[in-house]
Amino acid sequence: MEIIEKAPAKINLGLDILGRRPDGYHDLAMIMVSVDLNDYVTLTDWPGDEIILESNNCRMPLNERNDVYKSVCLLREKYGIKRGVKIHLEKKIPICAGLGGGSTDAAATLRGLNQLWQLGLSQEHLRNIGFEIGSDVPYCIEAGCSLVTGKGEVVEPLAVDLSSWAVLVKPHFGISTRTIFKEIDPHTIQRVDITRLAAALLANDYPQALAYMGNSLEDISISKHPFIQKVKDKMMKAGADIALMTGSGPTVFALCANEKRADRVVNSMKGFCREVYKVRVLS
């Protein structure tokens, strides 16, 4: 049997840091939404107990350091499964970009193995297992538009209809999430009102939602990489409704309700950055 799981990228319409926890992690409040830029995880039964991981992207580690590989190991360990599996990971989402690429691949692997091995695990169960792999994995099990709180483990789907275009610009460098989180000063960090953002989105009030969108990590990432601010400014000048960094960066997304505007943003960014994607927001 062969299972093909689509793994969509995410963007953060809002990301707020509530404070540092005793374990060094942070309490977060985020609104995440999927976009139509996808990796594909293809899972096939494999004789013996070997895990074969292949990818079109030669920069991916194809071993225990990969979240896909970790997901297989974790599921086998938890349920005493001895089966082998062959996985092909078709990467389209840029790596170390703030687009949740590794997390969405792990989530797709868990969903796919749940089917392939007929485990019958609930979404909630898969979210809990995913949380052992990474903080963004529980959200990625659901995808779509969600309010995410706690360390990332509390996921509340939001019935939002955001029929907008997003232009994603990935600068030439990557950012390590851990490095950015280390710089957080909970007393001075720029806050984002996620409750009001959620209310505006649920009321389908696009202008109000734009006013409440924001990312608490943006200032830190921009101070280390001023190029991110340049991307934002250029996108706004080209007519974006908003231009915001996603996750800990460095990718910046522009939202455009109007497709022609999105095309204009794409054209203005093409000579500036090599990786530019025009995608639909999947809420």
Q: In the annotation, is 86 catalytic? A: no
CA–CA gap between residue 143 and residue 193 (Å, rounded): 22
| Nearest distance from C-beta of residue 10 to ligand C5P, angstroms | 13
Neighbours of 120 (CB within 10 A): 8
Residue 240, token pair as written in the block = 């974006």
Q: In the annotation, is 39 catalytic? A: no
- Residue with Cβ nearer ligand C5P (22 or 80): 22
Establish if 178 lies at the interface with ligand C5P (CB under 6 A).
Answer: yes
Residue 183, token pair as written in the block = 């710089």
Establish if 246 lies at the interface with ligand C5P (CB under 6 A).
Answer: no
Residue of the chain from 34, 38, 114, 135 that contacts ligand C5P (CB under 6 A): 135
Establish if 134 lies at the interface with ligand C5P (CB under 6 A).
Answer: yes
Selected range binding ligand C5P among 21-29, 35-43, 140-148, 227-235, rule: CB under 6 A = 21-29
| Nearest distance from C-beta of residue 1 to ligand C5P, angstroms | 31
In DSSP notation, 242-269 reads: EEEE-TTSS-EEEEESSHHHHHHHHHHH
Q: E strands within the chain? A: 2-20, 26-46, 51-55, 84-90, 146-150, 154-157, 165-170, 214-215, 242-245, 252-256, 275-282
Establish if 172 lies at the interface with ligand C5P (CB under 6 A).
Answer: no
Establish if 181 lies at the interface with ligand C5P (CB under 6 A).
Answer: yes
Which residues form the catalytic set? 10, 136
- As annotated, the binding site for ATP includes 94-104
